[in-house]
């Protein structure tokens, strides 16, 4: 195909550490497949972040990485983190600072984490099928404020430390509006999760969200304390439509919510805000699995679906999602899902890329006409 006239979309690729590079590789295969099929041209710019960036450049977020992100149309992020820092509480520079600084510098104030279960895939979750049936929620996690960004310190004698949680009303307002807009396109319910019975910042969230709610009279707003929400999430998850919450609560609750889908390796996310949006699986660098070709790349691949959707490639995004669902319904997956047919990280990427590349294969996916074993296709 002659692509010389096709406008190029610049994607900054930040694979990071641990399983980050291997899941990113699978996401690239799938992005390349949809680019080819839908006549798009993606130009990738690879950049270092996290522990690998500390090793190579002495900083978890080198300037050239931030530059590449600011100059890109979209950023794809794998994962960061390394045990040598996790196991050293005294380390002065940490891989995670790279991710936090990146989110802050790009102004990515909202992290959007969809959590969906499918009728035929309820068995992937260790939870009772009758409880998780109908789960379809999206978590709006505030991403550039709160306790992860507040002033912090450890006393010189090492006997005390503090982290500060603070929020400004405008930081709450902007993500609240996004959450309500999203609710308008869904089941029109927003649940603000907080700890307003104890925390001043949570009471600020309640007041700010209550002040905005009248702008969206069709949207039902309710409130839930985070400890109760942690329980309700697995007890009665279908009650949630849009969950709106602060940085740390959203971080914790979304890992918990991945159990509803069946694995941390299944949940994608989009981080949006002021500058270029960034697409990132919710999981971390899963160092125990690094280099073993066992990590589930679907969270990364579904994050790529969110990325192409953000570029207006709605059909491509749909094709990726349908294909992931189809592969899982065929009983194919990485080991943690305990599937009937175990594939490695790379083979899952090959399979999904192969299926989305070709519209004829997609017809097969959609209609499952031939009903053949996927192993005969690849």
Ligand X SMILES: NC(=O)C1=CN([C@@H]2O[C@H](COP(=O)(O)OP(=O)(O)OC[C@H]3O[C@@H](n4cnc5c(N)ncnc54)[C@H](O)[C@@H]3O)[C@@H](O)[C@H]2O)C=CC1
Ligand Y SMILES: CC(C)CC(=O)C(=O)O
**Residues taking part in catalysis:** 148, 195, 227, 251, 255
Q: Is 26 in the site for ligand X (CB under 6 A)?
A: no
- By CB under 6 A, residue 99 contacts ligand Y: yes
370 contact partners, CB below 8 Å, separation of at least 6:
364
How many residues make contact with Mg ion (CB under 5 A)?
1
Q: Is 296 in the site for ligand X (CB under 6 A)?
A: yes
Closest CA to 145 of 161, 125, 162, 167: 167
| Residue 15's binding partner out of ligand Y, Mg ion, ligand X, none, with CB under 5 to 8 Å set by partner kind | none
143 vs 348 by CB, closer to ligand Y = 143
Q: Does 96 bind ligand Y (CB under 6 A)?
A: yes
Q: Find the binder of Mg ion among 17, 194, 251, 362 (CB under 5 A).
A: 251
CA-based nearest residue to 11, from 19, 35, 23, 2: 35
Contact call for residues 175 and 142 (beta carbons, < 8 A): yes
Using the contact rule CB under 6 A, the part of the chain among 40-48, 76-84, 320-328, 352-360 near ligand X is 76-84
From residue 167, give the alpha-carbon distance in Å to each of 138, 171, 199, 212, 235: 22, 7, 11, 16, 30
Residue 309 engages ligand Y in binding (rule: CB under 6 A): no
Q: How far is CA 146 from CA 16, 197, 202, 254, 330, in A?
A: 24, 17, 10, 17, 42
Q: Would you say 19 or 35 has its CB closer to ligand X?
A: 19
Q: Whole-angstrom Cα distance, residue 85 to residue 276?
A: 29
Per DSSP, the chain holds a count of helices (H) and strands (E) of: 14, 14
- Judged by CB under 6 A, does residue 30 bind ligand X? no
Of 143, 146, 56, the closest CA to residue 100 belongs to 143
| Residue 264 contacts which entry, ligand X, Mg ion, ligand Y, none (Cβ below 5-8 A, type-dependent) | ligand X
Residue numbers belonging to the annotated binding site for Mg(2+): 227, 251, 255
Residue numbers belonging to the annotated binding site: 103, 113, 141, 227, 251, 255
Report the interface residues with ligand Y, using CB under 6 A.
Answer: 96, 99, 148, 251, 282
Report the interface residues with ligand X, using CB under 6 A.
Answer: 19, 23, 79-81, 86, 96, 99, 263-265, 280, 283-287, 295-296, 299, 334, 336
């Amino acid at each position: 195909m002659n692509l010389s006239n096709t406008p190029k979309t610049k994607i900054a690729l930040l694979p990071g550490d641990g399983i980050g590079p291997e899941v990113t590789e699978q996401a690239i295969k799938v992005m390349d497949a949809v680019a080819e099929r839908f006549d798009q041209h993606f130009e990738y710019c690879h950049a270092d972040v996290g522990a690998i960036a500390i090793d190579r450049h002495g900083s978890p977020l080198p300037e050239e990485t931030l530059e590449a992100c600011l100059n890109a149309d979209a950023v794809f992020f794998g994962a960061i983190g390394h045990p040598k820092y996790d196991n050293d509480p005294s380390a002065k520079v940490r891989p995670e600072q790279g991710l936090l600084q990146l989110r802050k510098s790009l102004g990515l104030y909202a992290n959007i984490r969809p959590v969906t279960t499918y009728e035929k895939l309820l068995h992937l979750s260790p939870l009772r099928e009758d409880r998780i049936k109908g789960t379809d929620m999206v978590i709006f996690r505030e991403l550039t404020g709160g306790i992860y960004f507040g002033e912090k310190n450890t006393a010189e004698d090492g006997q005390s430390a503090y982290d500060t949680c603070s929020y400004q009303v405008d930081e709450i307002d902007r993500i609240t509006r996004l959450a309500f807009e999203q609710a308008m396109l869904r089941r029109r319910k927003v649940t603000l999760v907080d700890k307003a019975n104890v925390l001043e910042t949570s009471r600020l969230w309640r007041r700010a969200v209550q002040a905005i709610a009248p702008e969206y009279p069709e949207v039902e707003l309710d409130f839930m304390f985070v400890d109760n929400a942690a329980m309700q999430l697995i007890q009665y998850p279908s009650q949630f439509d849009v969950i709106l919450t602060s940085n740390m609560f959203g971080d914790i609750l979304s890992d918990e919510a991945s159990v509803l889908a069946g694995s941390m390796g299944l949940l994608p996310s989009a981080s949006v805000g002021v500058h270029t949006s960034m697409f990132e699986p919710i999981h971390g660098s899963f160092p125990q699995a690094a280099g073993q070709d066992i990590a589930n790349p679907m969270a990364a691949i579904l994050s790529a679906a969110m990325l192409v959707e953000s570029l207006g490639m709605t059909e491509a995004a749909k094709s990726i999602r349908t294909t992931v669902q189809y592969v899982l319904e065929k009983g194919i997956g990485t080991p943690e899902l305990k599937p009937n047919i175990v594939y490695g990280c790379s083979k899952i990427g090959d399979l999904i890329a192969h299926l989305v590349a070709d519209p004829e294969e997609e017809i097969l996916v959609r209609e499952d006409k031939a009903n053949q074993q996927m192993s005969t296709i690849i």
